[in-house]
Amino acid sequence: MTDKIGVLGKKSPQRTGVERIVNAPLPTVYGQFRAVGYMDHDRGDEQVALVHGDIGTDGVLTRLHSECLTGDAFGSQHCECGDQLSSALKAVVAEGSGIVVYLRGHEGRGIGLLAKLRAMALQAEGLDTVEANLALGLPVDARDYGVAAKILQDLGVNSVRLMSNNPRKQEALVRHGIQVAETVPLLIPPCESNITYLRTKRERLDHVLPHLDAVAHLS
């Protein structure tokens, strides 16, 4: 038996919700941050918010960054994720305050690392990112931003200036009780390796990417 037995032989209740576990200083190449760690008891994920400066409560410059091992750690040019993370960290330091919520469990828009790699293999054969997920019998986007809203609420944030090109993030935050005072574009210059992927995000996933119009020469 793995459940703990409490008084009178009753099982201890399972914890639910999002719990703050630790707050540690984190010096980075971008500047000084606080790494505020959380446990999402509902999903079993460990989460972290990188907080810079005195964030206040309203209009906080914020990035909700979905975990992307290939982009964030390996510098993949299949996507723009690594550059977006770097740009967001630089932006909050330049602002003097802000938050980057790094959302684990969001790999491959929520399908997981190995499934994402399988989808990338299908994209190499000619499918776009939406078609590849569907060909694998997987959702196009399975991400849930409820945990991000709970983290922001725990940090005392009422409203954000959201660094994102994805209107669905804004809609999700508002639905979970965080107001979005402004959407701040986070546009990364495309390259030959990711231009098709980015065009699919604009055309099929409603991302706001007006800068792609200037790079029609890329295949």
Among the listed residues 109, 167, 178, the one whose alpha carbon sits nearest the alpha carbon of residue 143: 109
What is the residue-level pLDDT of the chain in tens, covering all 219 positions?
334 334 444 444 578 899 999 999 999 999 999 999 999 999 999 999 999 999 999 999 999 999 999 999 999 999 999 999 999 999 999 999 999 999 999 999 999 999 999 999 999 999 999 999 999 999 999 999 999 999 999 999 999 999 999 999 999 999 999 999 999 999 999 999 999 999 999 999 999 999 988 776 565
CA torsion sign, 39 to 43 to 44 to 49? negative
Question: Which residues are part of the catalytic machinery?
Answer: 141, 143
